[in-house]
Structure 1
């Protein structure tokens, strides 16, 4: 399937002038129509106060390749949906975020203008690196089991031990990484091309993952305490980088000081912070885990204590000496939601407002494993960890044939599907949020909660294809520490493997693939060198079983990305004739004639990025 013969619109600068509109603004939006189509007229359908209205689009310019129409959208509501109607011989067509349709469609995929401010502009250029502190680096350099006083829950592990994948020890196996170890390895991050460090939780807890905080007032002494976080923050910012933390607004740990106070005195203010039941264990836990009692945002004082008050948890760590540049919110989709309670949007908006009162450039990122659209259009979370619109479809296209890996929490293995399925899934999910969200979504090939991408796809060559998709797709690329060296793992716990620093320092080894590191580094450099890859729109041009291709375009640059997962015979892209240069490999030419571009065949998994004139 090729799509260059279809009309196109997205929210990037070629179609909508960049900037956040205000209520009452009139925003011109553009649509490009290939010269091969026979439209009699183009209209804009905009929804105002729930009622559709039509506006005639004006022909703005045309040439032998395409026609550009423009129409005005009055921003009458905080989120204003619109789509295009093409009057063509044989019947009208709708153009929305999912593509062109010769039938009536729902409003779910309409394009959207939003008055809510987008994520901070620094995410346009960011490359984010996720660090799981216990497994990244020890400041001592000691390789054996952690020494000194350890908490009773900890099972000491040597740095070279394999992480437990399931059962006893999953949450208790302690490798002993710390924040000063992270600071000592910032050179590695900058060599890779990273400019933003995202830390999973650093608060004291009764587990290695620390999502069961016992307090929000201090950094875990096992990680070096408050002084270590302040030092890491200073070092990160001195290098012109940023630091994002991880906060559980949905729950605390069962050992948290609020919860202990609540259990000891049911008349205390803290007792209202939780949901109590008559069934064991007597309170509601996140996904029935007794170790993670759920917070009740209907309680007087909880929002103030956590979000809005002077010295509240969410804001104090954004202030000196810690100066976090934002929060990733754990299970954000569940925060404030229980039975007939739904405070989720109110909490998210309050959190954004409070953060921006301290640092207008602070980022607020949600964790949400499925359809996050309803939570991303209300002025709360800036963006989401983009499992649904990126990770999941990418896995289904690139997974190793015959893989039995479970599919991200589902009771089935990862299916292997064709490129058209991946593209349709991405378009479905991207179409439900404004472009101002899509262009900053945190895209990832894996995280501390998933299998490693090297294990999913099965080969170094397929990892290169996956990584190229990550660094060239609209959004913010997020790399889980170690993926850049080909580390492996069959699930989230098993994937939390310690970084093999002796092999990294030696330039490679049994667990560290220097060639994969070179690919990631080259891709980070490529993204930084191209405004189209950072800010451009997205126009799919190719979707076959074993190959996909898309254009990223700004007013001054056009880049073609073609990815293959297996041997592929090549393609002729009609209507895309231009001179080109290979940005990734420097030696694979495109050929052109007067009407088409010829993409060469590939013998197996391959990634190509061409800049077109």
Structure 2
């Protein structure tokens, strides 16, 4: 085996976290930003480059602190624009380097990866500690406890199936199989969420529809009676809040169902206000559908009256469910990237800001989460969506690193299989996408290993050991951990529809079974507790320390705590880190994994074991 690999801690660093920049800034304010340069650096001077009203400006940074191991420079940024970008210039012998969100570069770079300060209000502070649990209501729990086919009366679209039936993976049945889960059933199982460490429940849509997924709502004015109706939501919300937990709903602002009362009126009366809510088309079926689906007619946000119905005012859809007795703590917006966009029309930012403003008026601590499967950088940090469901910067790169060798699973919406890539490629991808948004967004992004729209994690990675590595990344990486119900027990599924299996409560109550891995549940529970125990893991910055094909290590740091995380998908060469990461006379405290971090000849020795997870508190 080759000798230990080199570390990455001898490069300049800035990440926008509180060690380096303020958590927030107001327009017109001057705020200090800091950059860390190793003692081995050859810089003659450090400059701060900002963009003000579209024009670059350079100001000298001043040496603020110097130790045996590093130098800290500081410069002041004038927050002149709502989103102020900046990066650092290091003047060095023979040339210069730029430092931006992707790292240090001995060449000129575009502004796309510059650091950013946002003057917009950040996401609510409770996301600092949140652990979100996603539930697909039809598949979580039945209040009746009955395991056979759900009893009637049932809508004509529904195909009743017994609890525990394997869900259809393809075809029309994927949207019509009805398992009969309901909101009282969820309420009856809140102890399970709390045992896991969950403090926020996110429900996929709960409005009446003509499908089990309910993204084709027929109204936004009431809760589906199949789920228990309005009173069931009020009761669930009350119980969650009594336990100190929160509840986030799911809304389609891009479209309604073809059975929606607005659309029915629009089709019946072309002169109605509702008729303006949808785009006409000369092609069948005579209107524009989301991705050409006739069952999902697309909303036109230029239509007079739509904003009033959906967003503005106390009786709007957005506001009504935030108020008692329902008291939602936020909304996740389905296909947010398409809302208000069609042809030459682009009102996405306007709509997002409108929703955020209404939410603040009714619940200042409500969160607004977008669904955006690809690059969301242009839509974040502009005063609209607080955070995004982080497929691009988290789910996809983690899958590609930990996927089971030889897997034939499709890669999240692409006509190719999940590629098996190196740790270097994973980190490059994460840095690219993280650099496209302000740190205030990165620190709260909704990170997921799977969702109701993807294959199950266990099916992707193939083993309990690699699932543990993935879960450790979820609970130690910057952002908000989000778990799809069942992943904590190693449930399987080959695509989003197949993954929507009913929870095996008999096995869960019995402590395990063929569909429930109690060891994996304990792993998730321990990792959630680890995150809660560490301020650095919740709010600290991120420094990559080691990046190899088969292992990565990074530091999470605050002013008072430094935590080292080592993740390996298999055996690797090991690495040596600078011994000064430990305070003089201190020993590394093992927080997870049970291994010692040895100090040998002044260097910290990272072991080459794998697959596995090790987490240490250094100081």
- TM-score norm. by structure 1 comes to 0.99
**How many angstroms apart in 1 are the aligned matches of 2:579 and 2:22?**
25
Structure 2: 5+ residue stretches without partners: 1-5
Does 2:528 match 1:524?
Answer: yes
Native 8 Å contact 2:50 2:57 kept in 1: yes
Partner residue in 1 for 2:606: 599
1:576 deviates by 4.8
Matches within 5 A, 1:84-103: 84-103=88-107
**How many angstroms apart in 2 are the aligned matches of 1:609 and 1:360?**
35
Matches within 5 A, 1:558-569: 558-569=562-573
CA displacement, residues 265-305 of structure 1 (integer Å, 9 cap, x when unaligned): 00000000000112111110000000000000010010111
**How many angstroms apart in 1 are the aligned matches of 2:400 and 2:340?**
32
In terms of mean alpha carbon deviation, does 571-580 or 356-365 score higher?
571-580
**How many angstroms apart in 2 are the aligned matches of 1:569 and 1:519?**
26
Partner residue in 1 for 2:8: 3
The correspondence for 2:347, drawn from 319, 343, 352, is 343
Task: Give the 3 Å change call, closer, same or farther, for CA 65–502 of structure 1 in structure 2.
Answer: same
CA displacement, residues 188-240 of structure 1 (integer Å, 9 cap, x when unaligned): 00000000000000000000000000000100000000010000000000000
Partner residue in 2 for 1:71: 75
**How many angstroms apart in 1 are the aligned matches of 2:555 and 2:314?**
47
Task: Give the 3 Å change call, closer, same or farther, for CA 256–297 of structure 1 in structure 2.
Answer: same
Structure 1: 5+ residue stretches without partners: none
Native 8 Å contact 1:65 1:575 kept in 2: no
Partner residue in 1 for 2:452: 448
The correspondence for 2:614, drawn from 604, 608, 612, is 608
**How many angstroms apart in 2 are the aligned matches of 1:57 and 1:22?**
21
**How many angstroms apart in 2 are the aligned matches of 1:459 and 1:556?**
36
Secondary structure at the aligned position of 2:541 is classed as coil
**How many angstroms apart in 2 are the aligned matches of 1:309 and 1:511?**
46
Does 2:127 match 1:155?
Answer: no
Matches within 5 A, 1:157-196: 157-196=161-200
Native 8 Å contact 2:209 2:218 kept in 1: yes
Native 8 Å contact 2:164 2:503 kept in 1: no
Matches within 5 A, 1:482-493: 482-493=486-497
In terms of mean alpha carbon deviation, does 56-65 or 201-210 score higher?
56-65
**How many angstroms apart in 2 are the aligned matches of 1:185 and 1:73?**
49
Secondary structure at the aligned position of 1:278 is classed as coil
Native 8 Å contact 1:35 1:65 kept in 2: yes
The correspondence for 2:512, drawn from 502, 508, 512, is 508
1:582 deviates by 1.1
Partner residue in 2 for 1:583: 591
Partner residue in 2 for 1:537: 541
**How many angstroms apart in 1 are the aligned matches of 2:32 and 2:358?**
33
1:160 deviates by 1.3
CA displacement, residues 157-214 of structure 1 (integer Å, 9 cap, x when unaligned): 1111000000130100000000000000000000000000000000000000000000
Secondary structure at the aligned position of 2:27 is classed as coil
**How many angstroms apart in 1 are the aligned matches of 2:389 and 2:480?**
10
Native 8 Å contact 1:577 1:595 kept in 2: no
1:310 deviates by 3.3
**How many angstroms apart in 1 are the aligned matches of 2:298 and 2:178?**
25
**How many angstroms apart in 2 are the aligned matches of 1:577 and 1:371?**
35
Matches within 5 A, 1:287-302: 287-302=291-306
Secondary structure at the aligned position of 1:171 is classed as helix
Secondary structure at the aligned position of 1:86 is classed as strand
**How many angstroms apart in 2 are the aligned matches of 1:3 and 1:95?**
14
Native 8 Å contact 1:577 1:596 kept in 2: no
Partner residue in 1 for 2:380: 376
Native 8 Å contact 1:284 1:290 kept in 2: yes
**How many angstroms apart in 2 are the aligned matches of 1:114 and 1:595?**
41
Matches within 5 A, 1:117-132: 117-132=121-136
The correspondence for 2:434, drawn from 430, 437, 454, is 430
CA displacement, residues 71-101 of structure 1 (integer Å, 9 cap, x when unaligned): 1111111111100011112210110000010
Secondary structure at the aligned position of 2:174 is classed as coil
The correspondence for 1:570, drawn from 571, 574, 595, is 574
Does 2:557 match 1:550?
Answer: no
The correspondence for 2:481, drawn from 459, 471, 477, is 477
**How many angstroms apart in 1 are the aligned matches of 2:159 and 2:282?**
34
- What is the number of residues matched between the two proteins? 610
Partner residue in 1 for 2:358: 354
Native 8 Å contact 1:43 1:56 kept in 2: yes
**How many angstroms apart in 1 are the aligned matches of 2:441 and 2:377?**
10
Native 8 Å contact 1:127 1:478 kept in 2: yes
The correspondence for 2:17, drawn from 12, 23, 32, is 12
Task: Give the 3 Å change call, closer, same or farther, for CA 581–575 of structure 1 in structure 2.
Answer: closer
CA RMSD of aligned residues (A): 0.9
1:570 deviates by 1.2
Does 2:34 match 1:30?
Answer: yes
**How many angstroms apart in 2 are the aligned matches of 1:360 and 1:326?**
10
**How many angstroms apart in 1 are the aligned matches of 2:97 and 2:108?**
8
1:569 deviates by 2.5
In terms of mean alpha carbon deviation, does 476-485 or 41-50 score higher?
41-50
